[in-house]
């Protein structure tokens, strides 16, 4: 359950590069640890993210956890289905499809070379094995 084509942080976020933008979410391992997710707090479009700093909050039935930006950049899109004010609010997407429909934000990268500093699938797998 760790896609090979993504990069990861040791805080359990993933990032997928698409041209000059990248999609960010949390991993299958993270959603499993959190349990049923009930609320996701995301930054507004236009917010500047700094690598390693918190950019949002994910709340499950049993805990609340910060989200950490894997890269520096500007938020260009937010997953509309994860916003609690949306009519079709579906936080369960993060549980059901963490690497797909459960994506959280799309970011325009300030410095694409930051990606090289992130974990690849093998290195991230090791972290989950140690934690699990």
Partner 1 sequence: MKTFEPTLFEKSRPGRQGTMPPETDCPAVQPEELLPAGMLRKAPPALPELSELDVLRHFTRLSQLNFSVDTHFYPLGSCTMKYNPRVNEKAATLPGFAAIHPLQPESTVQGALALMSSLQDCLAEITGMDAITLQPSAGAHGEITALFMISRYFRDKGEKRTRVLVPDSSHGTNPASAALAGFEVVTIPSNAEGGVDLEALRANLDANVACLMLTNPSTLGLFETGIEEIASLVHEAGGLLYYDGANMNALMGLVRPGDMGFDLVHLNLHKTFSTPHGGGGPGSGPVGARGELVHYLPGPRVVQDGQTFRTEVPGHSIGRVRTFWGNFLVLVRAYAYIRTHGSQGLQDVSRAAVLAANYMRVRLQGHFDLPYQGTCMHEFVLSARNLKTARGVRATDVAKRLLDFGFHSPTIYFPLIVEEALMIEPTETESLETMDAFIEAMRTLAEEDPQTLHDAPQTRPVGRLDETQAARKPVLAWPE
H/E segment holding residue 60: strand 54-60
| CA-to-CA dists, residue 63 to 17, 21, 30, 31, 66, angstroms | 30, 30, 12, 11, 10
Closest to 107 in 3D by CA, of 45, 40, 31: 45
Rounded CA gap, 62 and 59, in Å?
Answer: 8
Q: Could you say whether residue 83 binds partner 1 (CB under 8 A)?
A: no
Interface with partner 1 (CB under 8 A), residue total 12
Out of 4, 18, 44, 61, which residue is the one contacting partner 1 (CB under 8 A)?
Answer: 61
- Residue span 20-49 as binding mask against partner 1, x where in contact by CB under 8 A, dash where not: -------------x--x-xx----------
Q: Could you say whether residue 91 binds partner 1 (CB under 8 A)?
A: yes
Residue 36 beta carbon to partner 1: minimum distance, rounded to whole angstroms: 4
CB 122: neighbour CB atoms within 10 A? 9
Binding region for partner 1 (CB under 8 A) out of 8-16, 43-51, 62-70, 108-116:
62-70
Q: Could you say whether residue 63 binds partner 1 (CB under 8 A)?
A: yes
Binding region for partner 1 (CB under 8 A) out of 6-14, 23-31, 87-95, 105-113:
87-95
- β-partners of residue 16 are 23
Rounded CA gap, 16 and 9, in Å?
Answer: 12
Residues that bind partner 1 (CB under 8 A): 33, 36, 38-39, 59, 61-64, 89, 91-92
């Amino acid at each position: 359950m760790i896609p090979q084509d993504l990069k990861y942080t040791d805080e359990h976020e993933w990032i997928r590069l698409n041209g000059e933008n990248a999609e960010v979410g949390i991993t299958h391992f993270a959603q499993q640890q959190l349990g049923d997710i009930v609320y996701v707090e995301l930054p507004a479009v236009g917010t500047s993210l700094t690598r390693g700093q918190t950019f949002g909050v994910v709340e499950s039935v049993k805990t609340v956890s910060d989200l950490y930006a894997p890269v520096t950049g500007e938020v260009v899109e937010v997953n509309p289905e994860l916003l609690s004010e949306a009519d079709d609010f579906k936080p369960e997407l993060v549980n059901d499809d963490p690497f797909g429909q459960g994506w959280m934000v799309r970011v325009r990268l300030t410095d694409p070379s930051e990606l090289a500093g992130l974990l690849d699938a093998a290195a991230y797998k090791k972290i989950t094995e140690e934690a699990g």
